[in-house]
Amino acid sequence: MLKIMLYGYMNGFYSSRDIEMASLRDINFMFLLEGASAPDHSTFARFRSLNFAPCAEKILAEMTNFLYEIGEISGESIFIDGTKIEAYTNKYTFVWK
């Protein structure tokens, strides 16, 4: 379950329903399931709240350190505040006369 959650987070699937749909359709998630049937969204949500939430910060920090050590990430740019910058900056601006 942890492998599926981490792989889902790395691919931008944060919702338990999105992870459920990906595990039903995506071959990479099926590989991680190792032949088992895909859990439903409530199982993912329960796992996240009961098992993953208490130790998420430590697990994700160790995973980041491991990826840095093997050279998968460079460590040149670090984003810690969660700021997102739109590529199309004028998308939500209004022009007044």
Chain segment 49-95, per-residue pLDDT in tens: 999 888 988 988 898 899 899 998 887 876 667 666 666 656 656 55
When divided into structural domains, the chain yields a total of 1
Q: Which domain holds residue 38?
A: 2-69
Task: Evaluate whether residue 77 is within a structural domain.
Answer: no
* Token representation of residue 65: 């350190």
Q: How far apart, in whole angstroms, are the C-alpha atoms of residue 95 and residue 85? A: 21
pLDDT of residue 75: 76
Whether 30 is in a domain gets the answer yes
Indicate whether 28 belongs to any domain.
yes
Q: Please list, in sequence order, all residues whose beta carbon lies within 8 angstroms of the beta carbon of residue 37, skipping any fewer than 6 positions away.
A: none
pLDDT of residue 86: 62
Residue 83 domain-assigned (yes or no): no
DSSP annotation of 36 reads P
Asked whether residue 95 is domain-assigned, the answer is no
85 inside domain: no
pTM metric for this prediction:
0.64
Residues 14-59 have pLDDT tens digits of 999 999 999 999 999 999 999 899 999 999 999 999 998 889 889 8
